[in-house]
């Protein structure tokens, strides 16, 4: 006859042991879900950074395309023309650390456009960088047209943090020296001799999305983008240097 085993040894796990096991399983599961949540947040943060970077890159690409046509066609196609002539693009009209205005046949259609890039150009989007391109009008000088020619603002970049202290645009001459531009800007009528020396424009954009926080720092994410472009065509000066001259 087989000996009768210990009844206690034949029993399953006690309630206490089950509770301990469930607690351990719960801790492990919570850790796994915490890691998954952190990974999800990190992915969302990185995707937001990519989206902001792509937005800034698209803007800079558009700006570069416009700049490549700045000052074209110039006064040489009509030697007797003036800066108000619809056939002539004078190049840079006004520059500042956070805005720029210029003329050029940006579409290759033969129609000179007056182009502006400016923070809050429309006056309704304080953190937006906006672009306007409208056909040049006759009868007034290009600087006056900035206030008389109705712009068609479109948003290019959202959530900018750039200011005069952290400029979007920095300007350099042909020798690589920085041209000091006050916050009020320089224009071709009052500062023609300086405007025509601009050869290279450096762009720096900083985007901060306050709706997306970095899970590590707890701060809003920031994305930066920089670029540099040289002016291929010369500018025309309305004052201080002979009209239709190129530097």
Chunk the chain into consecutive blocks of 10 residues (it has 247) and report each block's average pLDDT, rounded to whole numbers.
Answer: 53 73 80 70 71 83 90 68 79 93 89 93 90 89 89 88 87 93 92 88 89 75 88 56 39
Give the C-alpha separation, 149 to 228, whole Å: 29
In a domain, 179, yes or no: yes
In a domain, 112, yes or no: yes
Query: Phi first, then psi: what are they for 70, rounded to 5°?
Result: -60, 135
In a domain, 17, yes or no: no
In a domain, 239, yes or no: no
Give the C-alpha separation, 200 to 198, whole Å: 6
**Is 172 within 8 Å of 147 (Cβ atoms)?**
no
**Looking at the 3D structure of the chain, how many domains does it have?**
1
Q: Could you tell me the maximum CA-CA distance found in the chain, to the nearest angstrom?
A: 127
**Is 96 within 8 Å of 118 (Cβ atoms)?**
no
- The predicted pLDDT at position 234 comes to 59
End-to-end CA distance of the chain, in Å? 116
In a domain, 35, yes or no: no
State pTM to two decimals.
0.77
Range of the domain at 211: 51-230
Report helix, strand or coil for 161.
coil
In a domain, 2, yes or no: no
In a domain, 115, yes or no: yes
Strand partners, 19: none
In a domain, 163, yes or no: yes
């Amino acid at each position: 006859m087989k000996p009768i085993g210990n009844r206690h040894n034949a029993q399953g796990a006690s309630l206490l042991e089950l509770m301990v096991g469930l607690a351990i399983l719960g801790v492990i599961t919570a850790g796994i879900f915490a890691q998954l949540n952190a990974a999800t947040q990190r992915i969302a943060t990185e995707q937001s950074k990519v989206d902001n970077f792509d937005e800034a890159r698209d803007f800079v690409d558009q700006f570069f395309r416009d700049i490549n046509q700045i000052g074209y066609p110039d006064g040489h196609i009509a030697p007797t023309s003036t800066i108000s002539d619809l056939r002539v693009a004078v190049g840079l009209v006004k520059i500042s650390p956070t805005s720029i205005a210029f003329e050029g046949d940006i579409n290759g259609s033969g129609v000179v456009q007056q182009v502006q890039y400016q923070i809050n150009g429309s006056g309704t989007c304080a953190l937006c960088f906006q672009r306007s391109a409208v056909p040049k009008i006759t009868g007034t000088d290009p600087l006056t047209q900035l206030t008389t020619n109705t712009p068609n603002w479109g948003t290019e970049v959202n959530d900018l943090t750039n200011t005069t202290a952290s400029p979007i645009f920095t300007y350099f001459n042909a020798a690589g020296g920085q041209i000091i531009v006050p916050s009020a800007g320089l224009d071709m009528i009052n500062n023609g001799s300086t405007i025509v020396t601009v050869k290279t424009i450096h762009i720096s954009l900083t985007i901060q999305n306050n709706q997306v926080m970095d899970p590590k720092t707890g701060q809003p994410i920031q994305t930066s983008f920089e670029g540099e472009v040289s002016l291929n065509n010369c500018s025309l000066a309305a004052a201080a240097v002979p009209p239709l001259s190129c530097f």
